[in-house]
């Protein structure tokens, strides 16, 4: 009888622990951060691409003229290529063509394989705050603009 009471206690203790974990993990009152206070960077404009017959893509864009004075120049440009399998919403990073250019680059060229995948090129601006606040990152990223290479 003593063994039976001990196992009942363990079951109750385990269920109580599981209930406590579920209650604590379900208490999350923060929303997704849409933007943060302070200076921000606009997105690149006029994002386009051309494709040669041998599947070399040249992606071009423009940097907006209205860059806030609080951001140091020149800006960096982040270019990331991801591929998507048809019917899938999960991207696969193509690491050999993801890069950050140290200056205000306006073009990116890459070979696009002839396969079943769709390739997305996302371009973002990266700026550095001239007078950073203590405890905050000095880097500011713009939202990305994406060209879908077909």
DSSP label of 138: S
What's 95's domain CATH number?
2.60.40.10
Residue 117 lies in a domain: yes
Q: What is the pLDDT of residues 47-77, one digit of tens each?
A: 999 999 999 999 999 999 999 999 999 999 9
Mean pLDDT of the chain: 81
Residue 109 lies in a domain: yes
Q: Pull the structure tokens for residue 22.
A: 């579920």
- Cβ atoms of 79 and 108 within 8 Å: the answer is yes
Kindly report the pTM of this predicted structure.
0.71
Residue 40 lies in a domain: no
Residue 29 lies in a domain: no
What residue numbers bound the domain in which 128 lies? 45-149
pLDDT at 6: 62
* DSSP per-residue letters across 13-41: HHHHHHHHHHHHHT---PPP----SS--P
pLDDT at 68: 93
pLDDT at 124: 94
Provide the 3-class DSSP secondary structure of residue 9. Answer: helix
Strands 56-62 and 76-85: unpaired
């Amino acid at each position: 009888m003593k063994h039976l009471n001990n196992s009942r206690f363990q079951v109750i203790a385990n269920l109580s622990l599981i209930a406590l974990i579920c209650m604590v993990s379900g208490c999350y009152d923060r929303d997704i951060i849409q933007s943060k206070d302070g200076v921000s960077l606009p997105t690149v404009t006029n994002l386009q691409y051309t494709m040669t017959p041998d599947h070399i893509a040249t992606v071009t864009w423009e940097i907006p003229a209205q860059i806030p004075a609080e951001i140091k120049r020149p800006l960096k440009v982040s270019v990331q290529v991801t591929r998507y399998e048809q019917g899938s919403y999960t991207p696969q990073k193509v690491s050999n063509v993801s890069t950050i250019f140290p200056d205000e680059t306006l073009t990116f060229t890459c070979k696009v394989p002839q396969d079943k995948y769709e390739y997305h090129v996302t371009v973002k601006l990266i700026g550095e705050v001239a007078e950073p606040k203590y405890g905050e990152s000095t880097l500011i990223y713009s939202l990305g603009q994406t060209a879908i290479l077909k």
